Structure 1
Amino acid sequence: MQAAAAAAAELPPALFTNASSLEQLVLKSNPGLTGRIPATLSDLRSLRVLSLSQNGFRGEIPPELGRLAALQQLDLSYNNLTGEIPEEIGGMESLSILDLSWNSLAGGLPAALGSLRMLEKADLSHNELAGPLPASMAGLGKLQYLLLQENPIGTAVPAAVVGSLRRLQVVGMSGCGLTGPIPRGAFAALASLAALSLDRNRLDGPIPASLAALPRLGRLNLSQNRLAGEIALPAEFVARLGRRLDVRGNDELCVGRGRYGGAQASYLGAPPCAAAGGGSGAAVGGTSSSPVESSAGAAATAGRGFRVYGIAGMFGGMVYHLLMLSCIPFYDTMF
């Protein structure tokens, strides 16, 4: 079902009371579709796909939606939703894709998220959600995409949770107010991790060289933090990632003399370290290069059922089909 663009209107609650056999409901890209999301949608017990993205819905997410045990995909992105994510969401035991991005949701993340054991993609980005991540999320063994950027998480890097999600391919935590060092070995078990974004936080300390041991890591953004010391990543790793490695905007980072080639040292954007006796790991010659431009926006394409995400400061084009069960990013088009 696709709603036509029209003047401001609301969904009448009675519309869904006699549609129990409906399996897919897609009402997207209708800015004039306003009001609250009807709680009567919970009567659609056969529903597998519910997409209400890019509309003008406001108010809270109805807790009654937690009764949709057969639901596999829920997309409420790009609305004006407020309030907290309801604990009842844990009743969606078949859910594989959850997209609540670009709303004004607030409060903490509910522990009930850990009940979504079929979840493969969680996009909660661009809201007002606070940390910490509930420990129950460590049980999401099928999760591949965790996108939390532009939320005031305000904790240390959630190593205990993220480090337990062995199937993760993409982690986006840009602009989350993360503090402290990047724990050594925090991501060591994530053999499938292809893209890690921790830019625009308040992380300090050195860059763990252990990140280079991740066999599939192809994009790493640590820019615009407070990281310090000599960049100790292996030259082979730096050469392989090229400009997909971004550590700019960390004024206390420096490059060891002779560690990298001239081109590599240039795009790392850090000055050479001080010579022996001049202070170990201290940068020489001022601060790093100008701040990297942030691409925090996300745009919906005109192509039916597709969206292009710009993951803050790192991911240029992650594309997924709204009705697909697995969301595979086209890494060749990212950045």
Structure 2
Amino acid sequence: MNGSIASSIGTLSKLVVLDLNNNSFQGEIPVEIDRLREFRYLSLFNNNLSGTIPPKVSILQNVRHRDLGFNYFVSSNWSGFLPMPLLTHLSLAYNEFESEFSRFILDFHNLTFLDLSLNSLSDPIPESRFTDLTKLVSLNLTANAFEGPLSSNISKFSKLVDLQLATNRLHGSIPESIGTLPQLQTIELFENTFEGQIPSSLGLRPIEDQVFVPLA
């Protein structure tokens, strides 16, 4: 399917799930989408949508799953977004977001899945991320321009199973605390400029419980 998403979608006041994955929809997200107050699941993955994500989508406070990945969205004025306390799954992968990490995401305290890969986000990863998003199970920041050292506070992600930070500009040593994450199974740190030794803590668990990808 192609064309734009009609503004009349706002009349579907009882809609709970909207899944338009893998089509060719174009244009912007209609602002009328904010009328769908019963929404629980929104996926516009892999279309040709563009423009900014309207802050009004944050009015949809009941949404648990939001996937806007693989489109052409650009950076917005994130300060206009409201916290979304029930959101658990957020993907903004493979868009055209630039500049610093979207700090409004730090208000989504129940996130378990966060994918911001394949954008042009830069600057250091905010220290507050490690204390505000402690329920994360999967974190993917691959193929951005994040820089600076990796904080030892990454150990705050005690529920993390999947960590993907490859193809960025991270440097310095890999913190010893990364090996203390009790649930961690997959770690990708390649194509950064880390230096020094691989922390011995990464080898403390039985090898059959770990999946390692080259670090450099």
Task: Report the TM-score range of the alignment, normalised by the length of the smaller protein.
Answer: over 0.9
Quickly say closer, same or farther: Cα 1:151–1:109, change in 2 above 3 A: farther
1:77 to 42, 45, 49: 45
Structure 1 position 152, deviation (Å): 0.6
Quickly say closer, same or farther: Cα 1:238–1:114, change in 2 above 3 A: farther
Structure 1 window deviating more from structure 2 (101-110 vs 71-80): it is 101-110
Corresponding residue for 1:52? 20
**Residues 198-240 of structure 1, C-alpha deviation per residue, up to 9 Å, x if partnerless?**
0011111000010111111111111111100122232314835
If the length of structure 2 is used for normalisation, what is the TM-score? 0.92
* Contact preservation (8 Å) 1:100, 1:125: yes
1:228 maps to amino acid: E
Structure 1 position 162, deviation (Å): 4.6
Corresponding residue for 1:126? 94
2:189 maps to amino acid: L
Structure number having the greater strand percentage: 2
Structure 1 distance, partners of 2:164, 2:77, is 20
List runs of 5+ in structure 1 lacking aligned partners: 1-32, 250-335
Structure 1 position 109, deviation (Å): 6.6
Structure 2 distance, partners of 1:109, 1:215, is 37
Matched, 1:104 2:75: no
Corresponding residue for 2:134? 166
Corresponding residue for 1:198? 165
Structure 2 distance, partners of 1:50, 1:161, is 29
Structure 2 distance, partners of 1:215, 1:109, is 37
Corresponding residue for 2:182? 215
Structure 1 position 110, deviation (Å): 2.4
Say which one has the larger Rg: 1
Quickly say closer, same or farther: Cα 1:146–1:112, change in 2 above 3 A: farther
Runs of 4+ in 1 over 4 A off after TM superposition: none
**Residues 71-130 of structure 1, C-alpha deviation per residue, up to 9 Å, x if partnerless?**
010111111001011111111110000010110111147245552211010011011112
Structure 2 distance, partners of 1:99, 1:173, is 15
| Greater RCO (Cα-Cα under 8 Å, separation 6 or more) | 2
* Contact preservation (8 Å) 2:45, 2:69: yes
Structure 1 distance, partners of 2:192, 2:86, is 34
* Contact preservation (8 Å) 2:160, 2:184: yes
* Contact preservation (8 Å) 2:56, 2:81: no
Matched, 1:136 2:104: yes
Q: Aligned ranges for residues 15-26 of structure 1 at < 5 Å?
A: none
**Superposition RMSD on alpha carbons, in Å?**
1.8
Structure 1 distance, partners of 2:212, 2:94, is 23
2:139 maps to amino acid: V
Matched, 1:66 2:34: yes
Structure 2 distance, partners of 1:204, 1:72, is 39
* Contact preservation (8 Å) 1:68, 1:91: no
List runs of 5+ in structure 2 lacking aligned partners: none
Structure 2 distance, partners of 1:135, 1:160, is 9
* Contact preservation (8 Å) 1:149, 1:175: yes
If the length of structure 1 is used for normalisation, what is the TM-score? 0.61
* Contact preservation (8 Å) 1:111, 1:137: no
2:165 maps to amino acid: L
Quickly say closer, same or farther: Cα 1:247–1:112, change in 2 above 3 A: farther
2:98 maps to amino acid: A
Could you say what secondary structure the match of 2:104 adopts? helix
**Residues 27-47 of structure 1, C-alpha deviation per residue, up to 9 Å, x if partnerless?**
xxxxxx211111110111111
Residue-pair matches, total: 215
Structure 1 position 68, deviation (Å): 1.3
1:67 maps to amino acid: R
Corresponding residue for 1:254? none
Quickly say closer, same or farther: Cα 1:117–1:107, change in 2 above 3 A: same
* Contact preservation (8 Å) 1:109, 1:129: no
Corresponding residue for 2:115? 147
